[in-house]
A and B are shown apart, each in its own frame.
Chain A
């Protein structure tokens, strides 16, 4: 089906089902229960899951498949956001032109940067992309203020032209929509203590994510994808066969840049503002973390990694001492206090510590990421030989 083999069709179906049923899947605990804070089924967080999923899927095409480690991908995300907000300001609050423009602008931008950066590989490529991204970040903060609105960030105002929309009579800021369907619209379904939220914005993002996922799957299985894998495995040997690998790497770079632009456009479509901090190198680092954590070079890995990091960012950082005390309150006071003191640095404001530790452990012991770990466990259970697995989980970059 859909030109995919059986295994891929199953994977794709699995992703479709989980994505569409996310409001149920992410809300396993009843509203009133003590575990309700582990629910992730609210629109804002679910949107982030899929948007950063798109970002990581795109990054994976460059890093996981081609082996080029870019440390400046957030620049494309930022550019996409700015383009989308400008469309909202000038043309219309409909998200279609905004997202289209953000993809195109990010594509052109990545074409320029990729054309220059891809002349080098290995660590030099990483430094070049990092330099370009930091330059874009500084410029967005300083000189380009007329376009980016500097530190404040680009926002909608009441007197924006919006030529396609009618005159704004509501007196408030208009809302992003898809032909009238407002992005912030949420339908709640209450079933016996559970409360499920269906957000219009989430489903728009989810559909785009599924398309993006399908495309990346086709790229993985195509002759083009095979060529990218060849570049990752041994670029020198490929060059000696008389093949110019540059067009392929550039294509991969632009595709992943466009994915990042799409993610940026969607971020702006869900919440129409754009700031320069989205382009900073820590943001680029985050997408690297997501891809590695999930499993670079695998199909599901980036999605998993993005969801994992965004989930912990939101849920872990909400756990404070009061919550911890309420968990351990059944124990004697001294043990309770002791446990809280131990756990305290790792949750709440300190969740980055947990993230860093998890990340280190993954890189040290499980270079294939969570997906690799999952397959290993699965093979241990079913007793299948590990050698039969596809070698896609080997994240060795081009040197």
Chain B
């Protein structure tokens, strides 16, 4: 039992990332009817927002401290980050330490702006074009964004640590009455899960309980009628695109301590997120979230030794590598509209 619980927990953090990206993808597809292959790149840009903030915060002034010398006898250079000299040593260090959570505030306006520019500048011209064209142009855009990031930050992963408070692991099992060391779980992964649950909740609440959200939902159901009622639905959809970009970006920001960001992380997640969207059902927000968590957990279950051994015994080896694709194929063939997809939406 504790082993199963451990796998569920292990699947949660990846599942959260899948769910957040897939949520944004579905939001874009449901509102604008556009298949956005650049969504992984938005996730990656979010992660690099965290990197950038960390770099900005650690901009330092270099002074020479004559009282100390290094091993060659030269006076030692002392680097003082600007934030430390502005806010005092303790506060400055705390700010640097908390750079990843702070990057959330930094990333929201940036992602919103990027999403807005992307929609107005590019995606808008592709509403009426076939899905293949949308896939292709956003695929090209993803390559461009990826290469721009690579040109600025290099090809190597850049470590961005979590705040000291959340470093390390804790014994989750003891809390719910298991033996010690049965379920060890890193703090940050729990934070990540809680954070994504919060974001998903906020998005749903926004759509469900605000007038703006109501109009957007109406537009998703019948765009033409909403337009005829005198509502500028395009402007609202553009804002939804920005919102989807923010969701992807925040998923990226918070993911940085789990995996050091590199320029191709977006592409790695994108392929799986698309599978998640399709399994959940094109255009179904709940389906995307559900499928994201399900597939994340499934992936971690498949890597359990017992499960692996079982599948090896029936000649289906290394199931953990292919389980997501396998599930996607089965779902697509037996239930083309996905788990929670509405009848008639892209069901062909």
Contacts and interface: CB of A to CB of B under 8 A. Distances in A.
Interface in A311-357: 345, 350, 352-353, 355-357
A357 to B, nearest CB: 6
Interface centre among B137, B147, B274, B336 (most CB of A within 10 A): B147
Given A135-B325, A139-B321, A345-B151, A126 B135 contact: yes
B107 interface: no
Contacts of A21: none
A393 interface: no
B135 A69 contact: yes
Given A360-B137, A399-B131, A350 B329 contact: no
B151 A353 contact: yes
- Chain B, interface residues (CB within 8 Å), range: 35 or more
A246 interface: no
Interface in A242-278: none
A360 B141 contact: yes
Contact of A130 (B136, B143, B271): B271
B310 to A, nearest CB: 15
B177 to A, nearest CB: 38
B75 interface: no
A205 interface: no
Given A142-B321, A364-B125, A397 B137 contact: no
B144 A357 contact: yes
Interface stretch (A77-85, A113-121, A167-175, A184-192): A113-121
Contacts of A119: 333
Contact of B132 (A128, A131, A139, A397): A397
A122 interface: yes
A353 B267 CA distance: 15
Contacts of A126: 135
Contacts of A285: 139
Contacts of B282: 123
B130 A397 contact: yes
A132 interface: yes
Contact of A353 (B144, B274, B321, B325): B144
A142 B312 CA distance: 13
Contacts of A139: 318, 321-322
Contact of B147 (A123, A134, A353): A353
Interface string A276-288: 0000011001001
B143 A127 contact: no
A350 B147 contact: yes
Interface in B286-332: 317-318, 321-322, 325-326, 328-329, 332
A335 B140 CA distance: 31
A124 interface: yes
B190 to A, nearest CB: 29
Interface string B113-146: 0000000001001000111110111011111101
Given A116-B333, A139-B318, A134 B144 contact: no
Given A119-B333, A292-B136, A399-B131, A142 B144 contact: no
A122 B348 CA distance: 8
Contact of B274 (A127, A288, A350): A127
B325 A120 contact: no
A294 to B, nearest CB: 13
Given A132-B329, A282-B267, 6 more contacts: A119-B333, A128-B329, A131-B325, A359-B140, A364-B122, A396-B130
Interface of A: 69, 116, 119-124, 126-128, 130-132, 134-135, 138-139, 141-143, 281-282, 285, 288, 292, 345, 350, 352-353, 355-357, 359-360, 363-364, 367, 395-397, 399
13 contacts: A116-B329, A122-B348, A123-B131, A123-B346, A124-B348, A127-B275, A127-B278, A138-B322, A352-B143, A353-B144, A356-B147, A396-B132, A399-B130
